[in-house]
């Protein structure tokens, strides 16, 4: 099996979310997983599929201009101003895709924490669940959930993620809060180390790969949908 590493792209919130979803819907092949790190054209927030827009807006800064988009995955509100964002698509039937959601979350975050430790960050996965906070979805980096990546000494949250499963496979969207890592990170080296750890977890061979032949009209239509009030207000 290959882990295909896609080139870095920069986009707005709707474009980035639409691209991730199309990689799940149109791409999957049984013999390969796919990974991409991507960047943001400007200030942006995304929020989980099940969240209500009015509650999300109450948590956002006022008076600032930023992109806002509902994700196809779950989770809370994510500020992408200073994060390192990635997506992983695992095809249907792979052992990691078939794990329970909490266990696939743990496996991928263990790989991430290992890569951060190589960079000198005291990163571990949170091993306990806060029962009192269960079911509460707020701003992502204010509170760590079980198997999020946290700082070993301070408990500060470093990385979180959200997942979506369907008949084609698993989409895993993750975010690392750079300020929680310190200033010494070489992010290019971290990218390669994270890829290596993911490949080991998947039993795959990492392979740089050109962008798949996604139909531009389909991507444009989905970007338009993800930009619409109907999508962002749908809950």
Q: What is the pLDDT of residues 82-94, one digit of tens each?
A: 999 999 999 999 9
Contact (Cβ atoms closer than 8 angstroms) between residue 17 and residue 71: yes
At 141 the pLDDT is: 52
Domain 2-232 classified CATH 3.30.930.10? yes
At 137 the pLDDT is: 53
The mean pLDDT of 195-209, rounded to a whole number, is 97
Q: Is the pLDDT of residue 131 over 80?
A: no
At 28 the pLDDT is: 62
Question: Band of the pLDDT at 136, cuts 50, 70, 90?
Answer: very low
Q: Is the pLDDT of residue 138 over 60?
A: no
3-state helix, strand, coil in the chain (%, to 5): 35, 30, 40
């Amino acid at each position: 099996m290959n882990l295909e590493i896609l080139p870095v792209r920069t986009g707005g919130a709707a474009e980035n979310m639409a691209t991730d979803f199309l990689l799940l819907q149109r791409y999957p092949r049984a013999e390969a997983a796919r990974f991409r790190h991507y960047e943001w054209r400007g200030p942006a927030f995304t929020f989980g599929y099940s969240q209500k827009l009015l509650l999300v807006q109450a948590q956002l800064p006022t008076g600032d201009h930023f992109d806002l988009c509902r994700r196809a995955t779950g989770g809370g509100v994510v500020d992408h101003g200073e994060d390192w964002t990635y997506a992983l698509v695992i095809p249907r039937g792979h052992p990691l895709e078939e794990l329970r959601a909490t266990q696939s979350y743990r496996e991928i975050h263990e790989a991430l924490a290992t890569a951060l430790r190589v960079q000198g960050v005291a990163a571990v996965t949170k091993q306990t669940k806060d029962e009192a906070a269960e079911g509460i979805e707020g701003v992502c980096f204010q509170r760590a959930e079980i198997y999020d990546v946290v700082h070993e000494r301070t408990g500060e949250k470093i990385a979180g993620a959200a997942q979506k499963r369907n008949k084609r496979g698993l989409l895993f969207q993750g975010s690392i809060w750079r300020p929680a890592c310190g200033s010494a990170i070489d992010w290019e080296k971290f990218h390669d180390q994270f890829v290596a750890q993911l490949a080991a977890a998947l039993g795959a061979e990492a392979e740089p790969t050109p962008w798949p032949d996604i139909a531009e009209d389909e991507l444009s239509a989905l970007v338009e949908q993800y930009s619409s009030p109907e999508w962002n207000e749908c809950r």
